Amino acid sequence: MRKIIDRHLATLIFAVVALGFVGGGIASLASARSVSSVFWMAAAALAAGYSLVSAVLVVLRERRTGVDVVAFLAIVGAVSLKEYFAGSVIAVMVLTGSSIEDWAKGRARRELRGLADRTPRTVTRVTEHGLSEIPLGEVGIGDVIQVAPGAVVPVDGLMISAGVFDESALTGEGLPVSCAPGEKVSSGVVNAGAPAKLKVTISPAESTYASIVRMARSAEASTAPMVRMADRYSLWFLGITGIATGLGWVLGGPARAVAVLVIATPCPLVIAPPVALISGLSRAAKIGVIVKGGAALERLSRCTTLLVDKTGTLTEGRPRLSGIYVAEGCDPDEILRLAGSLDQVSPHVLAHSVVSAAKERALALHAPSQSVETPGEGVRGLVDGYQVAIGQARWMGITEMPGWAQAAVRQAETDGSLSVFVAVDGTPSGVLTFNDRVRLDAARTLRRLREDGMDRIVIVSGDKKEVAEAVGSVLGVDLVLAEQSPADKLHAVKKESALAPTVMVGDGINDAPALALADVGVAMGARGQTASSESADIVLVSDHLERLGQARSLALRARKIAVQSIIGGIGLSVIGMGLASAGLISAVAGALVQEVIDVLAIANGLRAGLPLGKPWNDQIGMKLAQKFSAEHVAVMADIEKMRRIADSISPSSRHSIDSVREMVKILEENVMPHEKAEEDLLYPSLKKYLGGRDPLEAMSRGHTEIVRQIRRVGMLTQRLDVNGIDEREAAELKSSLYGLAAILELNTFQEEETYSSLLDAVSS
């Protein structure tokens, strides 16, 4: 029976009914039949009242006829025939079914409640006088706090000292995450290392974890979903019950009619759907997806059109250094080192990307002096005795760009990238290009959504047409709508929603109206955009788009399980009613049979809370995947260098020969051992987990081709004349290096996507 009245009152009623049933049994054993009848009749009357109130509340609150009326009629019918024992059995079964439902819901909700239970109440603040314990509400922006080992990070901040954190409770990430000084740490993660210090960047009330707790409480308080599905089946079930009851009355009188009603009593129609959906909510919370109520999960299972923002959703939402172009005679690493050193003093988002890229390449950054920044234009300063400037060409006074710089700018425009000039001692020396990289999990997420019935995928982006369409072509979407204002996005959602149920995914404040209008709004909550998170029905706590695909799969499974439970429960009940109308099942036996049906329906509904698939449990393999993924940073740098060398090759150039030989040495000493170690150490673990004949055959073939091409370039280099190379040799070398770079880049991206997918699956 659907729980309508207060849980504590329902528990008390169940306790009283159970005592009445037991008391009647004791009196019956003592041959006090009149006393036992009083106990049993009282228990039946109390349960009948409970069923009647529940049925009336269903009508008043939800404007539908519930099957609670069947429970009421069964109890009243048994008592009217003086079948007091049967009436009390029905009463116990009815209240037991309600209690089992409450238990099942409570079990499914514990992941959501656990979020609030973990909320820190106090904070250790670091001052010049030492450490002090203060209430969380007294923490201010700019304060330095210390997080003890095993403690929950209470508020968002930037790391002052390095730390290791367990993000499993917040994002579902199964492995500890290391954070370097200056990196952002979200509240709610657990310190898995030594005491860590961080600088508070946001108030406790606006922190990531506080927002998640509010959304979790909202989800827990949400009304039970899927009553519409129950309504569609309940009318048929009530009709069948009426026919079977009438048939039983005709064939065997009132006693058989009561037996039929008993079997029809606690209907799986009402119990199974909420249990399945709430179990789905619980599993979603475990993997870092907050769903604001079961109704949102049910709607997600029905949507067939996806509209998705580009920046910060399909892409990482932050610029990354994608290329370094330098003047002849300049070293790219040195240009990046000088730029990174100067950019340490700049708060600009591109400056952070330059510094990060320099650190990834282990370049030694030095503190600049005499730095001056012109907002929106660039920054100047002294680095190691050099006057370095980074910014726009016109700000630097560059009126005529040299040929190499023109080529770099054209290439950046073709790729949809930003370009920034670097000048050393007043001379243009380098061009840095930046792009917003497509997320590693974007392509596989969209593939998964299509497999799960998402028929139409549309990119709705405020970015330029060329950039948005480039991303759309990579991901294979159906339509790209570029240069969209918030009003345009709203119109797009309205138009698509008129054709099919629609999901809108975004991360920015400008996405909030569209998220609110869509049938299901999904926000990328890791970026801390409160407006979009509050407007959305579903929030992806972690910065993994893959969670959207998992949420969709969970929604489909929960709905499928709910339908299974409904149809299975109805089918078993109909069979039981047929047997009862034929006189083969008594009222007491019928009550026991129906209770078994209810338990089966609830147990089936709880399956929606199970993991979606088997996790990758090879700890050595996971560590190897993390290790090789980290090494891919160096591999990508080698690929970039390989292309630069190929660009510079020209006939009769001694410099070209030296550069190629240096590149061959790097490939043989760094890249080849990396590829061989992946093949020998990691791939066996991956093949065992993925199953099949050889799921990594294509990638293994890529390793073979990479090694072959490296050796081929080495052989070509050995045959070069010490005095230079001719046009044919230059063309052959260029072709070989470009080809090798393309194969190596493709293989690296494939591995990154595979490693990311498997490491992500650990926690799903």
Task: Point out the residues that are catalytic.
Answer: 309
CB contact at 8 A, 440 and 753:
yes
Nearest to 627 by CA among 198, 178, 305, 269: 178
Instruction: In whole angstroms, give the CA distance from residue 83 to residue 74.
Output: 11
Name, in order, each residue with C-beta under 8 angstroms of 387's C-beta and a sequence gap of 6 or more: 380, 381, 424, 425, 426
Number of neighbouring beta carbons within 10 Å of residue 704: 11
- Interatomic CA distance for residues 20 and 92, integer angstroms: 9
Give DSSP secondary structure letters for 195-211: -EEEEE-S-GGGSHHHH
Cα(462)–Cα(478) distance, rounded to whole angstroms?
A: 17
Q: Is 331 helix (H, G, I), strand (E, B) or coil?
A: coil
The torsion defined by the Cα of 374, 376, 378 and 381, in degrees rounded to 10, comes to 40
* DSSP-derived pairing of the beta strands 502-506 and 369-374: unpaired
Residue 202 has phi, psi (to 5 degrees) of -155, 150
Residues in the chain: 764
Is residue 735 within 8 Å of residue 713, measured between CB atoms? Answer: no
- Nearest alpha carbon to residue 45 among 10, 8, 84: 84
Largest CA distance in the chain: 118
The tokens 């499914």 sit on which residue?
A: 108
- Residue 571: count of CB within 10 angstroms of its CB: 12
The number of angstroms, rounded, from the C-alpha of 661 to the middle of its chain's C-alpha atoms is 45
Alpha carbons within 13 A on the beta-carbon side of 111: 24
- Other Cβ atoms within 10 Å of 568 Cβ, number: 16
Q: Are strands 427-435 and 320-326 parallel, antiparallel or unpaired?
A: antiparallel
Q: Where are the alpha helices (DSSP H) in 204-306?
A: 208-220, 227-252, 254-263, 268-286, 294-302
Q: Please name every residue paired with 382 in a beta bridge, in sequence order, or none if there are none.
A: 369, 387
- Give the ranges where 649-726 is alpha helix by DSSP (H): 654-666, 672-677, 683-690, 697-718
695/760 Cα distance (integer angstroms): 18
SS3 label, residue 6: coil
Identify the three-state secondary structure at position 481: strand
Task: Give residues with Cβ within 8 angstroms of 761, minimum separation 6.
Answer: 613, 615, 616
Q: Which two tokens stand for residue 738?
A: 């470009």
479, 470 contact by CB (below 8 A) = no
Strand partners, 166: 190
Strands 520-524 and 502-506: parallel
